Amino acid sequence: MFTARKWIFLIFLISQTSANYLPPLVPPNLKKVNSQIFTNLTLNLNEILASLRLQKLGNSTECGAKISQLVTDIKTGNPESVAFLDALGKPGPGVTTGNFLLLGNYDMCGTGALGNQTSGNVYKNCVVMATLKLGSLPLSLTWTGCSPPECSSTSDVRGVLDQIAALINKSRIIQTDPSSWSVQCDVEQKFDAGAYVAVMILSLSGFLVVVGTMWYLLEPVVLSITDRGRDDTTVLVQAEETEHGDEDPDKKLSNLEEKYRTSNQSGRILGLLGPLLKCFSLQKTMGTLFSTSTKPGQVLCLNGIRVLSINWVVLGHAYAFSPYYIAGYSYVADLMKRRGFMVIQNGLPSVDSFFALSGFLVTYLLLKQLSKRGGMSPLQWVAFYVHRYVRLTVPYLVAMLVEGWLYRLLTSGPRSQQMFSSSLSAHETCKKYWYTNLLYINNLVPFKGNGGCLGQGWYLANDMQFFILAPIFIVLLFWRPLIGLLGTIGSIVSSAIAAAVITAVYHLGPAFTADTNQDDYWLLYNKPWIRITPYLVGILGGWVYWRWGGMISTRVERLPEWLKVVYAAPLWAVTAAVQYGVVCGLYQDIQKVQLHHINPSEVDSVFYQSTARIAWSLSLTLQILLCQCGLGGFINSLLSWTGWQILARLTYSVFLLHIGLMTVLFGQLRHPLFLNPDFEFSVLYLGILAISYLSAAVLYLTVEQPIANLEAMTYRKTK
C-alpha cells in the first residue's frame, strides 16, 4: 500500500525527460531500461524509504518544517494536507513504456483549492528537475506540484531538495548529484515598458483600422457635404459681383473665402488624410487579401510552393514542442523507425526552399526593371532597400512585442515558467537583443545564439543580408553575364567549402540531433556564409528564367503533348529523387544516433553538410523553371492554382506568429500528450496550423497590408 511518504518520494523520481525542442535520445533497450526503473522503484521502495525520513527536514528551515507537517497531517485527514498531496504529480500508467511525465494539478495552486484551505495564503506551482543515475543510465527528470507559502523563495525549496537528494543517495540504488537539481517556481508576471509599448501599438493599430473602415463608409457623405459648401461659395461670389459690380473681384473673392475658410480647410485636410485612413480600412485590406486576380509575368507556381513550405515548417516546429509533454517515449522510438518520419526529423530543407524562392523572385523582378530602364538612379536604389526594410520590419516588430512581452502575461500552466522565465525565453532575449533584430544582425549577435528576439528571427536576418548583397550578383549578371555567372558559382562553392570545414573542425553531424552541441551547431545553422547557398542558386534560376524563359516557353508550346512528357518526365523524376535523398538520405545515420548512440562517419557528415543545400535548391529551382516553361503538367496546375494566392499572402505572418502561438498552447497544457496513435498529433498539428493562419490574417489585415498600402503611396513615386 502506498503511504504518504511513498507518494512524496515518487513525485521526485518519476517524470519525463526534458528536451530542448528536439527529439530525445531514446535508449536502444528502452523496454529493458523501463523495466529496471519500475522494478527498482517498487521492489526496493521500502529499503529506500527506510532511510528517507522527511520529518528530519523540519529541523532545518520553515519550508522543510511545513512540508514535514503536511506529510504527517495526512494521517489525520487535514484538508490542507489532503489538498497539497492531491495537487502533486503522481505516477500514472505506462511507466514501462516511457510515461515518466507527472504534471500536478496546476489549478489547485495559487488561489485554487489550496488557497481556500489556507485562508488565501498562496501556494505556488513549482517545477523540479533532477539528474539521477540508475546504474549506468542517466535520467533527466522533471516534476510539477504546489509549494506552500512558507517556501517563499526558490532557495527555500532548493534547500529541501538538497536534503532529499542526500537521503536518496544513501539508498545506494539511485544516485544523484544534488548540485544538478534545479527548481523553478511561479513568479508573478508584471507589465514592463515593453508590454506597455506593445499594448499602445496594438491599440493604435486597432484604432486606425476602425477609423479607416468608418471613413471608407462615410467618405461619400462627407465629400458631398464639402462639395455642397463649395457650390454655395460660388453662388455667393456671383451674388456679390452683381451687387458690387465695380469693386475689385479679387478683393471680393478674398473676403468670401475668409467667410468659408473653415469649410475649405476641412475639405483640404480630409483630402489629405482620407487616402491615408483608407490604407487601414478592412474593405481595402480584405480586398487585397482575397483577391485572386493575376498579372502577366507572374510566377504563379511560387504561391503553392510557399504555402506548402510554411506548412512544412509549422509541422516540424509542432513536433519539436511535443517532447515537453509526450507521455510515452516508446512511441517516439517507433516513430524514428519510420522512414517517412524523416520529413519531420530532417525538415530543414523547408527553410532552404524559402531562400531559393526569395533569390529567384528578387532576381527576376530586378532584372525586368533593369532591362526596362537600362539602370537605376541612386534614389531608386535607396527606395529598393527602404521598401524591403519597411515591409518586413513593421509586422516583425509587432510580432516581437507580442511574443516577447505579452504572451507571458496571458499564459499559465505547469511548465509555463520554464518557457517564459528562463534566460533563453523570448522575454529575456527580447529585452537584451531586440535591437539586433531590427538591424537584422541577430544571426551574428550573439555569435553563438539562436536568433535573438524570436527564435525564427535568424532566417529574417539572413534573408535581409542576402537581399542587401543580391544586387551585386544581379547587376553583374545583367551587364557582365560571364563575370556574374562565375562570381555566383564561385560563391556557392565557397559556401560549401565553409560548411565542410566547420563540420569537420567541430565534429558536427549531418543533422541537428539531441546529442548535438548546440553552441557549435549555430556556427553552421544560422550563419550567412553557410545559408546563402540556396539563395545564390535561386539568383541563378531567376537569371536563367529572365534571359531564356520566354524563348523556351515559345518552343515548348509548339511541341506535341507526348513529346513534352518525354522531355519533362526524366527531369521531374531526377529532381524528385534528389529531394528525396536530401530529406530521407540520413535515415540510417539518424537511426544510429537517436536509437543506438553511434555517430555517423565524419566523411558522411562533411559530404552532406556541404552538398545538401545545393542539391535541394537546384532541384527546386529546376522544378520552378519546368513549371514556368510549360513542362509542369498537372504539378504546375496544382502549384499555380489561384486559390494559393490568398494563403501565400499570409505565409510571412504565419512564420512570424506560429512559434509564439505554440508556446502559449503548450504552456497552457494541464495534461500529457499521448501521441500514439498518430491521430492525436495530426489533430494537434492541424489545430496549430488553423490558429496560425487565423492569427496571421489578423496581423495581415491590421498591420502588414496597411503598412504596405502606406509605403506603396511613396514607393511608386520613385519608380
Reported as a single tens digit per residue, the pLDDT across 450-475 is: 767 888 999 999 999 999 999 999 99
Cβ neighbourhood burial of 201 (10 Å; 0-12, 13-18, 19+): middle
- pLDDT at position 263 over 80: no
Share of the chain above pLDDT 70, in %: 77
Q: Looking at residue 543, what is its pLDDT?
A: 97
Q: Looking at residue 209, what is its pLDDT?
A: 96
- pLDDT at position 262 over 50: no
**Residue length, the chain?**
719
C-alpha to C-alpha distance for 29 and 234, rounded to whole angstroms = 94
Cβ neighbourhood burial of 29 (10 Å; 0-12, 13-18, 19+): exposed
With beta carbons less than 8 A apart as the criterion, state whether 673 and 682 touch: no
Which helix (H) or strand (E) segment holds residue 139: the answer is strand 137-147
Least confident of 49-63, 130-144, 299-313, 370-384: 49-63
How far, rounded to the nearest angstrom, does the alpha carbon of residue 561 sit from its chain's CA centroid?
A: 43
- pLDDT at position 5 over 80: no
* Strand bridging mode 137-147 / 124-134: antiparallel
- pLDDT at position 61 over 80: no
- Give 447's contacts (C-beta < 8 A, 6+ positions apart): 522
- pLDDT at position 30 over 60: no
Q: Which grid cell sits at 692?
A: 496560425
Q: Looking at residue 719, what is its pLDDT?
A: 56
Rounded mean pLDDT, 9-29: 38
- CA distances to 209, 214, 301, 557, 663 from 698, rounded to whole Å, are 11, 18, 25, 42, 19
Which helix (H) or strand (E) segment holds residue 177: the answer is none
C-alpha to C-alpha distance for 527 and 459, rounded to whole angstroms = 9
- pLDDT at position 241 over 60: no
- pLDDT at position 587 over 80: yes
With beta carbons less than 8 A apart as the criterion, state whether 636 and 603 touch: no
Angle value at C-alpha 178, between 173 and 180, nearest 5 degrees:
110
CB atoms within 10 A of CB 434: 20
- pLDDT at position 8 over 90: no
Q: Looking at residue 181, what is its pLDDT?
A: 78
Mean residue pLDDT across the chain: 81
Q: Looking at residue 412, what is its pLDDT?
A: 86
264 pLDDT tier (thresholds 50, 70, 90): low
Rounded mean pLDDT, 88-110: 74
- Give 712's contacts (C-beta < 8 A, 6+ positions apart): none
142 pLDDT tier (thresholds 50, 70, 90): confident
Q: Looking at residue 588, what is its pLDDT?
A: 86
Largest CA distance in the chain: 120
Selection from 102, 9, 100 nearest residue 48 by Cα: 9
Q: Looking at residue 329, what is its pLDDT?
A: 66
C-alpha to C-alpha distance for 494 and 699, rounded to whole angstroms = 39
Q: Phi and psi of 200, rounded to 5°?
A: -65, -45
More confident position, 149 or 460: 460
CB atoms within 10 A of CB 429: 26
**Which DSSP state fits 185?**
E
20 pLDDT tier (thresholds 50, 70, 90): very low
Rounded mean pLDDT, 301-325: 91
- CA distances to 94, 103, 329, 449, 561 from 97, rounded to whole Å, are 5, 17, 7, 35, 56
With beta carbons less than 8 A apart as the criterion, state whether 154 and 184 touch: yes
Rounded mean pLDDT, 632-659: 95
Q: Looking at residue 654, what is its pLDDT?
A: 98
CB atoms within 10 A of CB 38: 14
Q: Looking at residue 667, what is its pLDDT?
A: 86
Rounded mean pLDDT, 84-95: 76
Q: Looking at residue 401, what is its pLDDT?
A: 95
More confident position, 167 or 5: 167
Beta bridge partner(s), residue 129: 142, 182
CB atoms within 10 A of CB 322: 21
Alpha helices in 480-558 (DSSP H): 481-505, 518-525, 528-557
Each residue's pLDDT tens digit, 498-527: 999 999 998 888 877 655 666 778 888 899
Each residue's pLDDT tens digit, 550-562: 999 999 999 999 9
Q: What is the pTM of this model?
A: 0.86
**Which DSSP state fits 450?**
S
- pLDDT at position 531 over 70: yes
Q: Looking at residue 240, what is its pLDDT?
A: 44
- pLDDT at position 318 over 50: yes
Q: Looking at residue 267, what is its pLDDT?
A: 57
Give the position of cell 464639402. Answer: 226
Share of the chain above pLDDT 90, in %: 43
126 pLDDT tier (thresholds 50, 70, 90): confident
Least confident of 161-170, 229-238, 258-267, 475-484: 229-238
